[in-house]
């Protein structure tokens, strides 16, 4: 793993796993684009700072376990598993834990994450959210 873009993408995942919103923001370009698995787009570092903060309140133990990665220049694809516990009303119950395969695509510009795309089946989380 000598590709600087791949190292940066893994650093981004490490910040996610620490739920470190400031570190995430520091790794994003000002015009950062986040694209979720349904194709929804959020643009801008400040919007994504708020977005990650809100997501970490909803899923306080969210983490990504990367099993493998592929990089080509400034594009990195990470494959693994995303998991967490939906905290309805701030309470984390074991039955609200979910896990799903995930593919992530990072686009790097000037040493920062310019785009972060998530490809995952979020239905396990949606089902838990509908229940409670």
Average pLDDT, the chain: 93
Between 94 and 21, name the one with better pLDDT: 21
Confidence class of residue 132 from pLDDT cuts 50, 70 and 90?
low
Res 1: pLDDT = 56
Res 58: pLDDT = 92
23-38, pLDDT tens digit by residue?
999 999 999 999 999 9
Domains and CATH numbers, the chain: 4-131 (3.10.450.50)
107-122, pLDDT tens digit by residue?
999 999 999 999 987 7
- DSSP states along 29-44: EEEEEEE-TT--EEES
**pTM exceeds 0.85, yes or no:** yes
Q: Is the pLDDT of residue 52 over 90?
A: yes
Kindly report the backbone phi and psi dihedral angles of residue 74, in degrees, each rounded to the nearest multiple of 5, phi listed first: -100, 15
Q: Is the pLDDT of residue 57 over 70?
A: yes
Instruction: Return the closest-CA partner of residue 132 out of 82, 58, 61.
Output: 58
CA 101 to CA 64: how far, in whole Å? Answer: 10
């Amino acid at each position: 793993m000598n590709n600087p873009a791949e190292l940066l993408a893994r650093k981004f995942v490490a910040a996610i796993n620490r739920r470190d919103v400031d570190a995430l923001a520091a790794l994003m370009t000002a015009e950062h684009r986040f694209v979720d698995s349904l194709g929804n787009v959020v643009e801008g570092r400040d919007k994504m700072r708020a977005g990650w903060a809100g997501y970490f309140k909803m899923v306080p133990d969210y983490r990504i376990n990367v099993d493998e990665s592929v990089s080509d220049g400034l594009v990195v694809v990470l494959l693994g598993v995303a998991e967490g516990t939906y905290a309805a009303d701030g309470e984390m119950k074991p039955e609200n834990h979910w896990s799903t395969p995930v593919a992530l695509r990072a686009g790097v510009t000037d040493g920062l994450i310019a785009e972060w795309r998530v490809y995952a089946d979020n239905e396990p989380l949606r089902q838990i959210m509908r229940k409670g």
